[in-house]
Amino acid sequence: MERDASRRRSAPAERPEPSSAGDVRRIARFFRRPAAIVGSSGRPRGTLTTMLSSIAALTLLVPLAAAPAHPPAARPASGIVFLEDDYPGALARAKAERKPLFLDGWATWCHSCLSMRSFVFPDAGLRSAKDAVVWLSVETEAEKNRPVVEKFPADGLPTFLIIDPDTEQILGRWLGSSSVNEMRQFVLETASAWQAAQKGGQVSAAAAAEREGHAAQQKGDHAAAAAAYRRAVALSGKKDSQRLLRMNLLLAALGRLSTPEATRECVALAKAELAKAPVNPSGAGIAASAADCAAEARDDKEANALLTAALARMDAMAGSSSAALSVDDRSDLYAQLAGHLDELKRHEDAVAAMRKRSAMLEAAAASAPDVVTAATFDAHRTESYLYLGEASKAEALLSKREKELPDDYNPSARLARVLLEEKRPAEAEAAVDRALAKMTQGPRKVGVLGLKARILAAQGKDKAPVLREQLALSRSLPTSQRHPPTEQKIEAELKALESPPHASK
């Protein structure tokens, strides 16, 4: 369902909190596979901005339940067994078995990654794709996986790649979550095309253009990626099963360009696609893109009409009992919908959407087969409770989760943010220290250190040592995981603290 780093996938753990309603909307979309976003404090309680600022460190800055990407329990109904964190071994197996390599890049904080792990990859509907590829799962924040992260940079999670084992070029790229049917089709068709090419078959012009887009995206050349994906869409027949995937890739690239021309093109494309978008994650991605692009061009009459239509479509998708959407997908849609509604000053409608979201998440957690699966929804539940002014529910949930998952730092870190929002900084400091004691180095720790700095500042304590640690850690990360604006902000804070009369003694 996600569309790009600001609309579809879970945001990097070090991404800063937004400072405006527009930032809130982008981050909330980012979460989803994004709805990753957040807002600044100081706004009236009850607005989406306040809710997101209240949990910035809980979502973007604080990962979700730590759990194995693909737990080695009983063999799932799909029969799919992932190799864990062994790219060289998986690549060697793919070469030996003459199959493409499927790479699942994930993180413990990525709610959509966990949703895919729990509800899509184990599903029996993927059984026919089990032997089409070699399945590899890579935890993107583990230091041992740095070479893979640098080789295949992802600007949002989850991102699923299908890789040529001979050339290590990207054959297929899926952004964000998917339904079982979408993932099966993606794997089978991409693998089949590769197998045919091995026997002398021709790669279609559309597929060739798509691969050019993947190569450009991998280099960070979003203009070239957009141009290639544009050709891929144009070369795709109306009945081409990969056309919608290519359209989402194009919209994502346009979103990253963020130019007036790219926004206008996005509006035109999304308008043409919205009415026929299927009720599944790809279709939800189209709807979210339509709303995002329309909001960027809000002064345009055509864009305003598109925004109205897109919000209605998102609401219908999120509330459809027959939609091929996971709870995580629906939750993201509700969050993004609420963000747009708040920007339009339709706060009562935004609150209604968030109440639906909260009730849905509570029901999903209550029916989960185990605590780890239920914790998949904790970040969104916390976000919803804070938005609705129900912080006590968030505190009760996270206090309980700390006891149930004693080795998981996420409940403690989220609880710290809730306590800080409730102006209980001493308790928040104890909670954040419990979280940090369980953490290893990585983007997620950058965010939690930032949370601790804010907690210390709320008590009038010296935060400079924590900021120095935060900056050093951020600079040590792989390039694709660093966030220069955050580093610049930390540097500015340190400079201010170290300059008279504020210098620490």
Kindly state the DSSP code that residue 116 receives in the 8-state scheme. Answer: I
Q: Indicate the average pLDDT of the chain.
A: 85
According to the model, what pLDDT value does residue 15 have? Answer: 36
**Is residue 504 predicted with pLDDT exceeding 90?**
no
pLDDT band at 37 (very low <50, low <70, confident <90, very high): very low
pLDDT tens readout for residues 81-118: 999 999 999 999 999 999 999 999 998 778 888 889 88
For residues 297 and 395, which has the higher predicted lDDT (pLDDT)?
A: 395
Give residues with Cβ within 8 angstroms of 73, minimum separation 6. Answer: none
**Is residue 14 predicted with pLDDT exceeding 90?**
no
pLDDT tens readout for residues 203-220: 999 999 999 999 998 888
| Residue carrying the six token digits 């989760």 | 401
pLDDT tens readout for residues 323-369: 889 999 999 999 999 999 999 999 999 999 999 999 999 999 999 99
Distance CA 357, CA 351 (A): 10
Q: HSE on the CB side for 129, CA within 13 Å?
A: 25
According to the model, what pLDDT value does residue 29 have? Answer: 38
Q: What is the mean pLDDT of residues 69-87?
A: 81
Kindly state the DSSP code that residue 505 receives in the 8-state scheme. Answer: -
pLDDT band at 501 (very low <50, low <70, confident <90, very high): low
Distance CA 439, CA 73 (A): 24
Q: What is the mean pLDDT of residues 53-82?
A: 55
**Is residue 489 predicted with pLDDT exceeding 50?**
yes
Angle between helices 281-296 and 260-274 (to 10 degrees): 140
- Please indicate, yes or no, whether the overall pTM of this predicted structure exceeds 0.75: yes
Q: HSE on the CB side for 211, CA within 13 Å?
A: 17
Q: Which long-range contacts (CB under 8 A, 24 or more apart) does 420-426 make?
A: 420/451, 420/454, 420/455, 420/458, 421/54, 421/55, 421/386, 421/391, 422/391, 422/395, 423/458, 425/455, 425/458, 425/459, 426/459
**Is residue 256 predicted with pLDDT exceeding 70?**
yes
Q: Are strands 134-139 and 101-106 parallel, antiparallel or unpaired?
A: parallel
Q: What is the mean pLDDT of residues 18-41?
A: 31
Cross-sheet strand order for the sheet of 134-139: 83-84, 134-139, 101-106, 159-163, 170-175
Distance CA 46, CA 299 (A): 27
SS3 (DSSP) at 412:
helix
pLDDT tens readout for residues 444-481: 899 999 999 999 999 999 999 999 999 999 999 988 88
Distance CA 39, CA 335 (A): 13
pLDDT band at 10 (very low <50, low <70, confident <90, very high): very low
**Is residue 238 predicted with pLDDT exceeding 90?**
no
For residues 143 and 131, which has the higher predicted lDDT (pLDDT)?
A: 131
